[in-house]
Amino acid sequence: MGPGPCNPYPEATAAFARPMLGHLDPEFIELLDEPNERLRTVFGTANALTFPVSGTGSAGMEAAIVNLLGPGDTVVIGVNGVFGMRMCDLAARCGADVVRVDAEWGQPVDTARMLEAHPNPSMYAVVHAETSTGVRTDVEELGANKGDALLLIDCVTSLGGLPMDLDTWGVDAAYSGTQKCLGVAPGLSPLTLSDTARERIKPVPQSWYLDLNMIAAYVGSDGGARAYHHTAPISMIFSLHAGLGAVLDEGIPEVIARHAACGEAIQAGVQKLGLKLFAAEGHRLPQLTSVWVPEDRLPGSATEADVRSLLLSRYGIEIGGGLGPVAGKVWRIGCMGNTARLRNVELLLGALDEILD
């Protein structure tokens, strides 16, 4: 069997076959702590409230925003792609005043401009790795100068693919997803909140399901007895536990280096094929390479979408199209988790070389 377009760590897939336990089974309750501890390690945090939200990455985004923002709050949000826009949408729905600091798509957010955008916001929020453009925005400057504001970062694509050190960076809240660089199926959203952020959780957030006041007891983050809140997605938690185990067994620095090596090989390789990179130099994500569609190299009457279909049907490789203002203009080549192997990079580069004129 070939690698296939979606290829989680084998351990993570095998964990779905584990005999199901009831969500109140004492054996399961005991197993709940270990994934949280593993998440602290990959996030680089000691935060007690660290656990996977039931839902995909957007559920973690919503949990962070709905619990920490409400009417009367001002949030400064950096936007350089789809996911920064999604944060703005959510914060506005919570009734917060949104001060949006835009950067051109393909460029990092200017965090100095975020700091100048408002004298005393409740929160700064930014996407660490913008998957819609392939750009990394460094957050240390925000962490060092945030004052009384909280700092929220989206780590959906960075966790497990870039060095991550939340406590050193001064991050108060962060969320991720299982299906990007953690190499697990979609379905959970690792979330972590500092003690400072926890003190600012709204007494009655505008969501019942994501209310962290109740969930803190459900996940036992204070070491006390766990209280039922909603049924844990048991098999997903088994799978996340196993996927994190694969990452920790290999070693976080080794996993990060493997992503870096693949990103370098893809970016050098596509340039050698004559393609132009889209993301700003110095801020390119190894796990997501964005390239301008080479209009003059598409074979025959093929569209860029035809090329992506061909990659999938003939080579078993799935690459993404552009989003928003660059739809139809860029390709997004993800190389994440267990898929981040040089043999997959070679396969992609060979396939592109065969297909393009």
Ligand X SMILES: *Cc1c(COP(=O)(O)O)cnc(C)c1O
Q: Which is nearer to ligand X, 61 or 151 (CB)?
A: 61
Give the range of 54-62, 101-109, 231-239, 302-310 binding ligand X by CB under 6 A.
54-62
318 touches ligand X by CB under 6 A: no
98-127 residues in contact with ligand X (CB under 6 A) are: 127
Contact with ligand X (CB under 6 A): which of 157, 192, 289, 338?
157
Which helix (H) or strand (E) segment is 291 a member of?
strand 288-292
Residue from the set 177, 183, 334, 337 that interacts with ligand X by CB under 6 A: 177
> Which range, of 52-60, 64-72, 191-199, 255-263, touches ligand X by CB under 6 A?
52-60
Judged by CB under 6 A, the residue of 8, 35, 52, 57 near ligand X is 57
3-class secondary structure, 183? coil
Please choose, from the candidates 289, 250, 252, the residue with its C-alpha nearest in 3D space to the C-alpha of residue 273: 289
Our CB check for ligand X shows the closer of 52 and 294 to be: 52
For residues 167-199, b (16+ Cβ closer than 10 Å) or e, as one string? eebbbbbbbbbbbbbbbbbebbbbbbbbeebbe
**Residue from 13, 58, 107, 145 binding ligand X (CB under 6 A):** 58
Closest to ligand X by CB, 13 or 56: 56
Retrieve residue 336's tokens.
Answer: 């994440």
From the list 3, 31, 41, 56, which residue makes contact with ligand X (rule: CB under 6 A)? 56
Q: Single out the residue of 91, 126, 156, 291 in contact with ligand X (rule: CB under 6 A).
A: 156
Give me the least distance between CB of 215 and ligand X, in Å please. 18
Beta-carbon contacts of 102 under 8 Å, excluding residues fewer than 6 positions away, are 79, 80
Q: Are 337 and 180 in contact (CB under 8 A)?
A: yes
> Counting contacts by CB under 6 A, is residue 233 touching ligand X?
no
Instruction: Quote the least distance from Cβ 27 to ligand X, whole Å.
Output: 29
Q: Which of residues 182-221 bind ligand X (CB under 6 A)?
A: 186
Nearest residue to the partner ligand X, using Cβ: 57
Smallest distance from the beta carbon of 52 to ligand X, in angstroms?
Answer: 12
* Rounded Cα–Cα distance for residues 98 and 76 (Å): 6
Q: DSSP string covering 12-25, please?
A: HHHGGGSPP--TT-
Q: How many residues bind to ligand X according to rule CB under 6 A?
A: 13
- The residue type of 261 is A
Sign of the CA dihedral running 243, 244, 245, 246: positive
- Contact track, ligand X, 259-288, x by CB under 6 A: ------------------------------
Distances (CA, A) of 333 to 85, 274, 343: 21, 16, 15
Q: In the complex, what is the shortest distance from the CB of residue 84 to ligand X, in angstroms, rounded to a whole number?
A: 9
CA 354 to chain centre: 32
Question: Is residue 83 involved in binding ligand X (CB under 6 A)?
Answer: yes
- Torsion angle of alpha carbons 146, 147, 150, 151, nearest 10°? 10
Closest distance between ligand X and the C-beta of residue 86, in Å? 7
Q: What contacts 84, CB < 8 A, 6 or more positions away?
A: 77, 78, 109, 126, 127, 130, 154
* Residues found near ligand X in the complex (CB under 6 A): 56-58, 61, 83, 127, 131, 154, 156-157, 177, 180, 186
